[in-house]
Structure 1
Amino acid sequence: MPRIVADIGNSRLKWALLDEHGASGPSVSLPLDDPKVWGVVLDGWLRPATGPATWAVSSVNPPLAARLGAFLADRGVAEVRWFLTAAEVPVAKDVEGAETGGADRALAVLAASRLLGPGRPILVVSCGTAITIERITPGGVWQGGAIAMGMGLCARALHHFTAQLPLVDPGRCAPSWGRSTVPSLEAGVFWGSVGAVRELLARQAVDLGAAPLVVWTGGDAFRLAPAVEGPAARVIPDLVLQGLVHAAFPSEP
């Protein structure tokens, strides 16, 4: 029976098909508003399979969750396990408001804890629409963290809420300053994000009792992680999808 995990974010929809051993395969990023493309991908996955697919879905985007739910219902999918809040994720927590917190944050914590194991504190940096940094104690307890503006959101805000600033998409080679508007924006967006993450990591590491392991994930992780930690930064793509596997299919490795 095919098993599929899906992560619905604010700017991306990601799916992964589990293999016969229960591990998620490479993910695909899909458009948020094109069910026809969803159908093409799903048909390609299910063509060699037998039996109905089982889904596990995480969402921080209620309108898109409703649309995906309708799509799956039209496809005759009867078994969907939804993770819509942090409270629904089976991870040890010492946080407030888990019933309204993002499931994606808790799922990333769950995956990092399973991958790295107990004994060392962990900080999980997720670089998407928002940048989040999650604290995990040496005993594997999630204590919450910090939420900051992601690079793309920062760039769009500067573009949309000013009269003349253009939209930029800075990369790892962004200058530290500029003689004109575009490089000046690239410097501010990229290195401002690097500085914010570096400061938050340093502040959260102070009272963890030992040097934390830092794990990076999310669409901008490959840009930000080397700038903050250097080439040895540990980037794990699709950490939320891996957390979904652990949460929805706990009998699997």
Structure 2
Amino acid sequence: MPPPRIVADIGNSRLKWARLDDRGVLGPTVALPLDDPTTWGVVLDGWLRDAAGAASWAVSSVNPPLADRLEAFLTGRGPAEFRWFRTAAEVPLAKDVEGAETGGSDRALAVLGALRLLGAGRPILVVSCGTAITIERVTADGVWQGGVIAMGLGLCARALHHFTAQLPMVAPGPDAPAWGRSTVPSLEAGVFWGTAGAVRELLARQRPDLGDPMVVWTGGDAFRLAPAVEGPAARVVPDLVLQGLAHAAFPSQP
């Protein structure tokens, strides 16, 4: 087998890997714990068992300490080539933003993945639902204009739990009630529908000057939030960042 090409997205809550096949098509995504190198090794050994030559890695990181640990882990297991995307400025994408050199590479890569998937010709809004929720604006001619950063579902729930004396941790989904007669359902209603309502409002505020944008959702909570905001026709693509990363690092893929 040829040397493997692997893309990795290092976030604040999850580490995601995917391998490109011989045609450059992204394979299934593997979500890994942030602090379990033993599990990393099991996955990597399976991928490298029949490979010839050093693996080529493309890595996006918004978590510098974990990026350092992953690099040390990978180099300790043998030869490997790396291309890092640590900021939005490093992503090959038309931009009309300020401070790209300090912006998250994941935001720009999600835009690149969306453009790769949907093409230019119509404005796009990319909603990424992770630790934070971001909404990225893309013009009809494919220029990223920046967007919105808001609190994600899990972060909202953890903040209410950790910064109060008595509120428990909750993990609500679309079955959350509209209101509650006790603490837990009241929290579930506020966390889920408050977040869904915020995203709905933020999307509505982007539309007047964009016209009729396409909306694409990605991230771990997208399958919970997208239908609650847009209904069953919402378009969810869970691996947009990895798709953008594969194109940025290995542009010969189809």
State the match for 2:113 in structure 1.
111
State the match for 1:245 in structure 2.
246
Which one-letter code corresponds to 1:17 in the other structure? Answer: R
State the match for 1:212 in structure 2.
213
Task: Give the secondary structure class of the aligned counterpart of 1:207.
Answer: helix
TM-score of the superposition, structure 2-length normalised?
A: 0.98
TM superposition shift of 1:48: 2.2
TM superposition shift of 1:49: 1.8
In the alignment, the residues of structure 2 paired with residue 65 and residue 176 of structure 1 have an alpha-carbon distance, to the nearest angstrom, of: 40
In the alignment, the residues of structure 1 paired with residue 57 and residue 79 of structure 2 have an alpha-carbon distance, to the nearest angstrom, of: 8
Q: Where do 1:52-201 residues align within 5 Å?
A: 52-201=54-203
The answer for unaligned runs of 5 or more in structure 2 is none
TM superposition shift of 1:77: 3.2
What count of residue pairs does the alignment treat as equivalent? 252
In the alignment, the residues of structure 1 paired with residue 85 and residue 45 of structure 2 have an alpha-carbon distance, to the nearest angstrom, of: 24
TM-score of the superposition, structure 1-length normalised?
A: 0.99
Which one-letter code corresponds to 1:95 in the other structure? Answer: V
Which one-letter code corresponds to 2:79 in the other structure? Answer: V
Task: Give the secondary structure class of the aligned counterpart of 2:83.
Answer: strand
State the match for 1:19 in structure 2.
21
Query: Cα deviations across residues 180-225 of structure 1 (Å, max 9, x unaligned)?
Result: 00000000000001000000000011101x2000000000000000
Which one-letter code corresponds to 1:152 in the other structure? Answer: G
Which one-letter code corresponds to 1:213 in the other structure? Answer: M
Which one-letter code corresponds to 2:214 in the other structure? Answer: L
State the match for 1:222 in structure 2.
223
In the alignment, the residues of structure 2 paired with residue 87 and residue 231 of structure 1 have an alpha-carbon distance, to the nearest angstrom, of: 35
In the alignment, the residues of structure 2 paired with residue 29 and residue 250 of structure 1 have an alpha-carbon distance, to the nearest angstrom, of: 24
In the alignment, the residues of structure 1 paired with residue 29 and residue 247 of structure 2 have an alpha-carbon distance, to the nearest angstrom, of: 16
Which one-letter code corresponds to 1:115 in the other structure? Answer: L
User: Identity of paired residues, percent?
Assistant: 82
Task: Give the secondary structure class of the aligned counterpart of 1:67.
Answer: helix
TM superposition shift of 1:4: 0.3
Which of structure 1's runs of 4+ aligned residues deviate more than 2 A? none
State the match for 1:233 in structure 2.
234
Is 130-139 or 76-85 further displaced after alignment? 76-85
In the alignment, the residues of structure 2 paired with residue 211 and residue 38 of structure 1 have an alpha-carbon distance, to the nearest angstrom, of: 42
Which one-letter code corresponds to 2:92 in the other structure? Answer: P
In the alignment, the residues of structure 2 paired with residue 238 and residue 119 of structure 1 have an alpha-carbon distance, to the nearest angstrom, of: 22
The answer for unaligned runs of 5 or more in structure 1 is none
Which one-letter code corresponds to 1:198 in the other structure? Answer: R
TM superposition shift of 1:251: 1.3
Does the CA contact (< 8 Å) of 1:54 and 1:77 recur in 2? no
TM superposition shift of 1:172: 1.1
